[in-house]
Amino acid sequence: MSTLHRSAPALLGKAMNVSFEFFPPRSGDMESQLWESVMRLAPFNPDFVSVTYGAGGSTRQPTLATVRRLLSETELKPAAHLTCVNSTRDQVDAVAREFWNAGVRHFVALRGDSPDGIGKRYRPHPEGYGNAAELVAGLKAFADFEISVSAYPEKHPESPDFMTDIDMLKRKVDNGATRAITQFFFDNDSYERYVERVRRAGIYIPIVPGILPIHNFGQVAEFAGRCGASIPGWLAQRFEGLDNDPQTRALVSATVAADQVMDLVERGVQDFHFYTMNRAQLVYAICHLLGLRAPVTGTPVTGNAAA
């Protein structure tokens, strides 16, 4: 696999680090789109690529198959998502062992959403891990995994206040988490305030901003409403009247994402995690803006392969 050529110097004289999230495919067409996106972004040499895990292990086998293919056909370092939902501790530990045997050494440890739907009250399995902090401890007891966890610049929707939310993050760190990846957000001031709160609480692991390029504003707005992420008024205005104008919408999406990332760079951020939605085009453009350079092959990318 080709390796990354960083610009010299990198953007603003800093070396940028990126990681990408993918989800396991549910059909042949989706599988083709996934692997086209993986191979399009792989030359940027990400720190890791994460593969999501459906509620209650609903995508366990597709996730495992995706991770195995990443390990066998690429030089990428896969991180497998793992949740506690609807599972006993023994069941979760068995899944961790299965991923370990496949070669996984990095987990994204998440409590997971309620099986009744996002926003519904979460009830842990009576014989399971009660939350992500307990899951982290369980994984660390099994092996010395690298463990990333979630963080919420606008507070987890189920947390009564920021103090409770940050206390949970500290418990995850105390149990062995080495990195936090944030819920997506569009207000960089919220991220900056959150990092300040986290540092005052004595948490010093990297708080990596999760960036979601907007491919479909309506879907993103609906999801944001369920998971506690706000949609600034200015952002909604940018997409007004573009429902039936995909070309202009794509240009606006690229501008919004690039503006957000460049502003974060000016604030001193050097690590970024991209929720790719198995689409490479916008993420590729942003990585280029960050000063990352994929090798030039001489064959231009055309059509929808990178969409």
Residues with catalytic function: 21
CA-CA distances (angstroms) from residue 18 to 26, 32, 61, 162, 209? 26, 23, 26, 27, 10
The dihedral through the CA atoms of 233, 235, 237, 239 has a sign that is: negative
- Taking the CB of residue 289, how many other CB atoms lie within 10 A of it? 16
Strands (E) in 156-291, as ranges, are 179-182, 207-208, 210-211, 271-275
Question: Residue 60 is encoded by which pair of tokens?
Answer: 């366990």
Cα distance between residue 210 and residue 212, in whole Å? 7
The β-bridge partners of 292 are 6
CA-CA distances (angstroms) from residue 197 to 101, 154, 166, 250, 263? 38, 12, 8, 35, 20
**Non-local CB neighbours of 68 within 8 Å, separated by 6+ positions:** 102, 103
Cα distance between residue 152 and residue 137, in whole Å? 20
The dihedral through the CA atoms of 96, 275, 306, 261 has a sign that is: negative
Q: Find how far residue 290's CA is from the centre of its chain.
A: 18
Q: Is 86 in contact with 76 (CB distance < 8 Å)?
A: no
* 3-state secondary structure at position 78: strand
